[in-house]
A and B are shown apart, each in its own frame.
Chain A
Amino acid sequence: MPVTPLRLISKSQNGVGAFVLQCKRMEFNYCDWAGSSKGMNSFLKHHLPKFAKANPQIEITVSPRPHKHPIIRGEYINGREKVICVRNLEHNQILQKAELLRNSSGLKLRRVTKPVSSMNESVRGIFSPFHGTGYAI
């Protein structure tokens, strides 16, 4: 047959239809001995239940990590993870860090130079010197 198909797959556009939160798992590591974990222990007691309830899409794990600074580890759908050491922070600051992890995708931080990034071609089209009325000198 003159027309043969090419096998491609559709590309996802998260948010166009359904939105899937990119952060799928957060692990909170605390220590009962270290002084740097005081804020974290307080966060786990007072703020974590509300945070977990507000974000049911995130699987939250709490585990002790003895004799180490407290950390929050966020795992994302693209397979990457982000770890933030929350040593010596207050519980409200730790909540801010948790929200920061929740709000990111797993992508590496990169500088955005262009104002628009899109999968669709431009609406107005790209300039062509061969179309239109031409340029009279």
Chain B
Amino acid sequence: MKRIRNLTSVNSLLRPVAAPAINASLSLLHSSASTVASAAAIPETPSPELQPQLLSTLPPSRNALASAKLPALHARLNLHPNYPIQTLARALVDPSADKNPRFTNQNLTTLGNTLTGYYAAEYLMVTYPRLPTEVLYAAVSAYVGNKALASLGREWGIESAFEPTADVDAGLLQFSRLAPGVDPKAALHRDPHAGSTLEHAMANLVRSVFAGVYLHEGLSATKQFFRQHVLSRKLDVDKLFDFTQPTRELSRLCAREGFEPPVARLLAETGRHSRHPVFVVGVYSGSELMGEGHGGSLDEARIRAAVNALKGWYLYSPPEKDLPSKTEESRDAKFKPAYIDPGEVIV
């Protein structure tokens, strides 16, 4: 993962509305959605249609200081006084609400997406090094995916304006909705200015707020903000697994690791010929118990035992966990590299 460079020209990314002069560092604003670090060479004068109109009075939807909701949101999130209300206001404007990227949150979203994705991924990779790739992606998505961040935005008390007109409060999420019947995935991919869904807009807003924390408060504050708002959420990683043929996978795992082949043994049972039998089966490798499961039939108990054995393998968590981003704060920090697993079991 490329180290995120400190953005020297923070001002260009966060220039407030109706600024008198357009700075030459618009290159950062016009960069593609891939990375913020790549600042390509762009001509100095912007195109005529993107020249903002200089209005004598700000419309309410862009007047951050006139909104009561913005300072309330600022205080609710416990943001530092260095974080201006204007950035928060800008984070609330989706690209579908305004054509000019100087007033929308699309660049903040890109930065926030990089940050949240990175911190979630590194935490999960260090905490559960043996997690299968698909399950890792699902876990990252459960923390920082669109649905999760949209839910976080709602829990921050952010409301959306019905339509992004000029008279809405600046503290409302402004985005224009897609026409009914339109497939959201295709439409969002095609043109972000045409319209958005509430979930997508809310998730992008949360990412933009993270980006604002990074830009105004610094790296350690961003990590703390992430830990407090995202990592504090409850996710049972063991509930993300969906196995097909766990017994087969377990036997391949034992063969790969050089364990003795797994044998299922009945540990306890009751009511075998009654209406509700209970069987408790343990899967052994030699004399060592790998996993135990219960069920209403012998097969169910054996499969549960295999699943539990596999979960015990995949959900291994090392006692010392050093996140790689620890080295971003101080180069002298003692860093113990994470355990790297050979990979998933190939069946």
Which A residues lie at the B interface, using CB under 8 A? 1-14, 16-18, 20-21, 24-25, 56-61, 77, 119-120, 129-131
Contacts and interface: CB of A to CB of B under 8 A. Distances in A.
Contacts of B147: 9
Contacts of A77: 154-157
Of listed A3, A4, A5, residue having the most chain B CB within 10 A: A3
Interface stretch (B39-47, B215-223, B236-244): B236-244
B69 interface: yes
Interface of B: 68-69, 71-72, 74-78, 132, 134-135, 137-139, 141-143, 145, 147-148, 151-152, 154-157, 171, 225, 227-235, 239-246, 248-249, 267-268, 270, 278, 280, 294, 310, 314, 344-345, 347
A6 B138 contact: yes
Contact of B239 (A1, A6, A60, A130): A6
B242 A3 contact: yes
9 contacts: A2-B244, A3-B314, A11-B234, A18-B78, A18-B225, A119-B234, A129-B270, A130-B267, A131-B268
A18 B209 CA distance: 15
Contacts of B142: 7-10
A13 B69 CA distance: 24
B75 A56 contact: yes
Given A9-B145, A9-B147, A17 B239 contact: no
Contact of B235 (A8, A56, A120): A8
A34 B313 CA distance: 72
Contacts, number: 123
A6 B241 contact: yes
Given A5-B240, A24-B72, 15 more contacts: A5-B139, A5-B242, A9-B147, A10-B148, A11-B234, A12-B151, A12-B155, A13-B232, A17-B227, A20-B77, A20-B157, A25-B72, A56-B75, A57-B72, A129-B270
Nearest to A20: B76
Given A9-B151, A17-B229, A130-B268, A4 B245 contact: no
Contacts of A6: 138, 239-242
Given A59-B69, A130-B278, A7 B141 contact: yes
Contacts of B234: 10-13, 119-120
Given A4-B134, A5-B137, A61 B68 contact: yes
